[in-house]
Chains A and B, each alone.
Chain A
Amino acid sequence: MRYSGFRVIAEALTGHKGWKPVWRDPDPKPDYDYIIIGGGGHGLATAYYLAKEFGQARIAVLEKGYLGGGNVGRNTTIIRSNYLLDGNEPFYEFSLKLWEGLEQDFNYNAMVSQRGIINLIHTDAQRDAATRRGNAMILHGADARLLSRDEVRQMYPWLNFDNARFPIKGALMQPRGGTVRHDAVAWGYARGADSRGVDLIQNCEVTGMRIENGRIKGVETTRGYIGAKKVGVAVAGSSSKVMAHAGMRLPIESHVLQAFVSEGLKPLIDGVMTFGAGHFYVSQSDKGGLVFGGDIDGYNSYAQRGNLPVIEDVAEGGMALMPAIGRVRLLRTWGGIMDMSMDGSPIIDKTHIEGLYFNGGWCYGGFKATPASGWCFAHLLAKDESHITARAYRFDRFLKGLMIDEKGQGATPNLH
């Protein structure tokens, strides 16, 4: 069924009796052409684009819990394409362009809101780096502006301009950056995939892979064996667990990233802002909560919860930047498991097992990548070759010394 304002009014007048389930709950079939493991944002987007853009059918998405229950449902909702390196920027810009047409494409209001993102600058060295980055963005067809201290002050006069330990000296802005209602992304893709015949199978955990003569045959699940011609894995923080079924070790560690929301407030912050002298970034949701975060906890974890030091560190950053929020209250904290890769950039690649494909290593940047990740993974699955914007996301880049290390931290996942 098609959603629209007229439909909402018509249903309101008739007691909302006409709304249909947004997706079915099918039982798994004995086999599929494509199995996507992981019913999060990336997996659902992959299935959606496989069906819609690449004309594929007989597709199933296997989700161990509920749809959208992974990082797509527990992030800070930011979208942007302000990357530096050639391996990354075209991909994230492709993603941003997909975001810009997404709601009309899948007929679901995910509240894609391009209210701008600013990365604050506190030193001359940061300004130099921002200049390099802003130029790289424009060279790749994205948008960027370098703001002076006064321009930042005009936007947010109540930031700490007068008594700061690390004074604000300007900002790199991407006007097209913004936020998206995260759950709605999962639901929109799920609805779009379901309506195109994709079987979305919840509470179905993959417990093994059947591999014969170097070729994948199917997967063992808590709901029985399911055969498949091709299997794509898009399970973020669970990447190492799932790929271990294929005997693979990955250049990935799983880490917990906490995120935070305050009580609802009348509008304070219009766009997205990152503090350049500490671990803090913030936006305000349409509902009024300040949504913010900081650094990962820093140790391998699958626990979906974090510890107090990071909460304090983030609050310190927030107070350093915005001295007015001392009496604003933290309402809720949560944690997601990040698939932190060895250079901070993702992998969308075939494996040495025929028919088994991998998508992961998103670190804490996976949400903004959702549309392009789905598109590029679908491209790889359908055509057996990388999408033009995802060609650098290969497994063998570490062997060949072709790392895509935005932060320059080397093989230390918890520093990316």
Chain B
Amino acid sequence: MTQSHRIDAKLGGGQIDRTKTLRFTFDGLPYQGHPGDTLASALLANGVRLMGRSFKYHRPRGPLSAGSEEPNALVELRTGARQEPNTRATVVELFDGLTANSQNRWPSLRFDAMGINDKLSAFFAAGFYYKTFMWPKSFWEKLYEPIIRRAAGLGSVTREEDPDEYDKGFLHCDLLVIGAGPAGLMAALTAGRAGKRVILADEDFRMGGRLNAETYAVGDVPGADWAAASVAELATMPNVRLMTRTTVMGAFDHGIYGAVERVADHLPTPAKGKPRQSLWRIYSGRAILAAGATERPIAFENNDRPGILLAGALRAYANRWGVKVGERVAIFTNNDDGLRSALDLQAKGVDVVAVIDSRQGGSLLPGIRHLQGAEVIDTSGKLGLASIAVRQANGRSENIAIDALGVSGGWNPNVNIHSHHRSRPVYDPGIAAFIPGSDGPPGLLVAGAAAGQMSTHAALKTGRDAAVAALELSRSPDLPEAEDMPIRITPLWHVAHGKGRAWIDQQNDVTVKDVKLAHQENFTSVEHLKRYTTLGMATDQGKTGNVIGLAVMAELTGRSIPETGTTIYRPPYTPVALGALAGRSRGREFRPFRLTPSHHWAREQGAVFVEVGNWLRTQWIPKPGETEWRQSVDREVLATRKSVGICDVTTLGKIDIQGTDAGAFLDRVYANTFSTLPVGKCRYGLMLREDGIVFDDGTTARMGEHEYVMTTTTANAVTVFRHLEFCRQCLWPEMDVQLISTTEAWAQFSVAGPNARKLLEKIVDQDISDAAFPYMGAGNITVCGGLRARLFRISFSGELAYEIAVPTRYGDALLREMLARGAEYDPVVYGTEALGVMRVEKGHVAGGELNGQSTALNMGLGRMVSKKKDSIGMVLSQREGLTDENGYRLVGVKPVDPNGKLTAGSHFLEKGAAPVAANDGGWLTSKVYSPHLGHDIALGYLKAGDKKIGQRMRIVNLLSGLDTEVEIVSPHMFDPEGERLRG
């Protein structure tokens, strides 16, 4: 039995290609469909109505709609790593080999054990869980919640990495048109013909919107043909970009819209190198929302069975896809559009056995049993609709056997995107629906059914007029002829009848009873209603249910619908894959890499790298035979201190500061003084934030009268530059100062150790003897026969040390050259770990101490803050909380027993003190193993630490049980007199 419900092609083929057959499976069973089908239309064509289960009661469900508003027909599409939960069968474009499975059921869709919830529904009324499961207290996490969590959720998600790629981009246009129905097409034609840059986006894979689902004419051709011709005309315009399968998901500030293009969802897998989906950020001068309208159902008892659809969806399946959902069909309507559905179905050879029209009067449909003043009061059928109970105008009830029912409660304009800036829609009693309010996103106009202009003529006209108005066009093209039927609707929100359940939000199983209970308990604000009952919080975000829910609440409270209010829609318009929002920033490409000039050399050596921000720095370089990282680091430290070591320090920020006020400027931004620094010298600088906390530190050299080179920490290179620009432009705009970053222009190496000078003498062309180039000297030099370079005699390691810089392209070669020419000194290249060991040995502050919470005083550098001049942070650094005599001070720490272990982050306690906060003395900021001293050493912030030098305390790590007796020492634990660095 294949495609038993496909309408004979002779009655109108629909927009499917019957010449080609596509094979697919649903729950393991094979089916066939055609190109142009959705998964839902193809399943319906095969007589499959049951496609899912509801969230709470696990009620059997089929599709309610034929579009993206679908609450019921959710499936797990594809398998394995590409499994996609909660996918609406109504928008899945059929492809050959498609695999889908039902979800949220066990063991099978037809027999779902969780269907027991439906029988127990009386106990699961809205908000029941707030009133129970409280005793005994410990049972919530152990018993109740695990059961609830397992039962809840919809589809299941794979644990495998998504194998597909996602792309992003930016588009710019004069006019963005959202939706390619009659209004959108006419707007795009109007703007496109005027030569404007237009983007026309539609979520469907076929443009035309509702015209594809209708039979009436536009001009002298069927609407769908007019749409196709219009699309063809637009496609010839170079100034127009047509984007099918593209959902505009949100309106953001200043004309920026987010849109997701489903590039390859209609293919088994994306073509190699191509994305599955692309996120486009569209920068529009103006935009027109022409998103159409969504039909809403009417709440009546058991209105959720498979086979009960929106009347317009029944019509769409018949007209567009050539599918009759049932053999015997009835329509239940409160408006004239429902009658149109009945006529269209009849024209497709469907047996329309009755039209149940809740209204009285008016003309009767010819050739159809048209029951006026009647209502559907109940339905039956286990896994699909079998019959309906109708209460006629005279009060008599009648059962009618049918297998499909179309319900029309009126049409809701798709105002969603218009309310993304929190504009509240307003109620239009003429169409019994909400239309866009007045304070939508600036630059966004609304046209067509989205604006409540429901006829085809009105859509074409408002589409054209919106484009003319948005772009202030001088010419307004003529419109094709089209139907202009008035809206005739008498609101009916729910059918008052017996005690059964009438569904409002089908996915979340919110019924009229739940709204009544919310009212009874005084959750009457629409927001309370939503939150208490979960109305509108399912994957369809209430596109079909919300208005009914609030109308029912309005009835209960005796307020009007406008008085009752409405909740607003928020982005996204329909759910968006997280992969598309992330784009290419994932895995190793989450953030770009920054590689140092010595990276290639280090990789050759088998170096271990560490992430420092986006930089990859050499952490250590293991030698053959070294099995543990400490062996490598100890060797690097010892070799440096014994002879000479080289470290790539390019990552430190470098800022060129020039101008006649450069010195004065530095005096303002540094706590200490730089204007007095002689040319050819450098100085350690301490930079504060305005709140007096240490911001950054580094060495700054005076290269000329009006020329300084500042270095910053690696971490703060960007923020320091930003801060300097703030000072320069906003605080002291008349200073003659120019700034430019040179961080990446220079490859810079630290060369440290007793033989540092000897090694450099083999490289540097000039005299660098102690006399010619003393401690804290700085200057432009040349190396290796004339290459321009910079030399700074500064030391982080405490050794005789220099930093030498060459243009970055020569960095790799310089390193190799230093190693080759200095081979006799056995130079070692050391990484960040050894660097850390040596700076801790010397008591220099770095990341652990520069934590944004510490003052110069805390670091033992209080005297560096000059009060003789104004500088950033000087005044506020004098506040009492920052000058506490017994505040934290930087100290050195060593274990009393050389085998004693330390851990950074451990806290200080006095001996015998209980581990409670009142006894907390501070913490270890940095810890290393000192191969020279032969034991762990650390730096730490200790309360009144400067007064505790020589005392014994404990270092406690309560996370690991570590408890080590330590001696508090000066932070300068190695060569405290600094004899080595002046050597």
Contact = CB atoms under 8 A, between A and B. Distances in A.
A333 interface: yes
Contacts of A307: 252-253, 256
A263 B70 CA distance: 14
B959 A131 contact: yes
A138 B959 contact: yes
B36 to A, nearest CB: 24
B153 A131 contact: no
Interface in B78-127: 81-86, 104, 122-123, 125
Given A166-B590, A330-B578, A323 B256 contact: no
Contact of B847 (A125, A163, A263, A409): A125
A312 B915 contact: no
Interface stretch (A17-25, A54-62, A378-386): A17-25
B691 A139 contact: no
Interface stretch (A30-38, A228-236, A393-401): A393-401
Chain B interface bracket (under 10, 10 to 19, 20 to 34, 35 or more): 35 or more
Given A22-B523, A165-B591, A312-B583, A90 B132 contact: no
A264 B152 contact: yes
A135 B587 contact: no
Given A109-B131, A308-B252, A138 B923 contact: no
Contact of A164 (B141, B587, B958): B587
A139 B915 contact: yes
A319 B55 contact: no
A23 B148 CA distance: 28
A405 interface: yes
Interface string B564-590: 000000111001111101110111111
A263 B422 contact: no
A8 B847 contact: no
A90 B917 CA distance: 9
B162 A128 contact: no
A19 B577 contact: no
Nearest to A112: B140
Interface string B864-881: 000000000000100111
Contacts of A131: 903-906, 957, 959
Contacts of B851: 129, 408
B907 A263 contact: no
Contact of A267 (B149, B882, B904): B149
A266 B570 contact: no
Contact of B422 (A23, A90, A304): A304
Interface in B876-891: 876, 879-883
Contacts of B148: 286
B689 interface: yes
B774 to A, nearest CB: 35
A139 B156 contact: no
Contact of B881 (A3, A314, A403): A403
Given A307-B252, A329-B576, A399-B879, A410 B141 contact: no
A207 interface: no
B767 interface: no
A183 interface: yes
A52 interface: no
Interface string B500-538: 000000000000010001001111010110011010011
B715 to A, nearest CB: 9
Contacts of A304: 422
Given A130-B905, A326-B577, A326-B582, A157 B531 contact: no
B905 A308 contact: no
B141 A115 contact: yes
Contact of A319 (B152, B576, B579, B876): B579
Nearest to B878: A401
Nearest to A2: B131
A314 B590 CA distance: 12
A320 B917 CA distance: 37
Nearest to A134: B959
A136 to B, nearest CB: 7
A329 B959 contact: no
Contact of B153 (A183, A267, A332, A402): A267
A338 B28 CA distance: 50
B140 A113 contact: yes
A165 B959 contact: no
A287 B153 contact: yes
Contacts of A135: 905-907, 923, 956-959
B743 interface: no
B582 A315 contact: yes
A410 B134 contact: no
A145 B960 CA distance: 9
A391 B132 CA distance: 37
B258 interface: yes
B24 interface: no
B157 A266 contact: yes
Contact of B129 (A21, A111, A308, A407): A111
A312 B582 contact: yes
Contact of A311 (B525, B581, B585): B581
A286 B157 contact: no
A13 interface: yes
Interface residues of A, number: 124
B751 interface: no
Contacts of B927: 128
Interface string B134-161: 1101001100010011101111111111
Contacts of A24: 522
Interface in B890-932: 903-907, 915-917, 919-920, 923-927
B590 A262 contact: no
Interface string A136-164: 10111100111000000000011010011
Nearest to B883: A401
A320 B586 contact: yes
B523 to A, nearest CB: 7
Given A9-B123, A90-B917, A408-B852, A288 B130 contact: no
A17 B589 CA distance: 59
Contacts of A353: none
B166 interface: yes
Contacts of B690: 410-411
Contact of B853 (A109, A266, A405): A405
Nearest to B846: A125
B152 A288 contact: yes
Given A4-B132, A135-B906, A329-B577, A19 B521 contact: yes
B82 A265 contact: no
B312 to A, nearest CB: 25
A147 to B, nearest CB: 10
B700 interface: no
Contact of B145 (A113, A163, A325): A113
Contacts of A130: 905
Contact of B923 (A132, A268, A314): A132
B448 interface: no
Given A132-B907, A266-B156, A326-B586, 12 more contacts: A109-B131, A113-B145, A128-B905, A135-B958, A140-B916, A264-B538, A320-B582, A324-B159, A331-B539, A331-B572, A405-B693, A410-B691
29 contacts: A12-B125, A13-B122, A20-B521, A24-B522, A69-B527, A107-B134, A108-B134, A125-B848, A127-B904, A131-B903, A134-B959, A139-B958, A181-B130, A264-B152, A265-B153, A266-B104, A278-B590, A307-B253, A312-B168, A312-B279, A314-B581, A319-B579, A319-B585, A326-B578, A327-B82, A328-B157, A400-B880, A401-B879, A403-B691
The 10 closest A-B pairs by CB, nearest first: A408-B852, A131-B905, A401-B879, A326-B162, A288-B153, A326-B579, A401-B881, A315-B581, A329-B575, A21-B522
Interface of B: 55, 81-86, 104, 122-123, 125, 128-135, 137, 140-141, 145, 148-150, 152-162, 164, 166, 168, 250, 252-253, 256, 258, 279, 281, 420-422, 499, 513, 517, 520-523, 525, 527-528, 531-532, 534, 537-539, 541, 570-572, 575-579, 581-583, 585-591, 610-611, 689-693, 695, 847-848, 851-853, 876, 879-883, 903-907, 915-917, 919-920, 923-927, 956-960
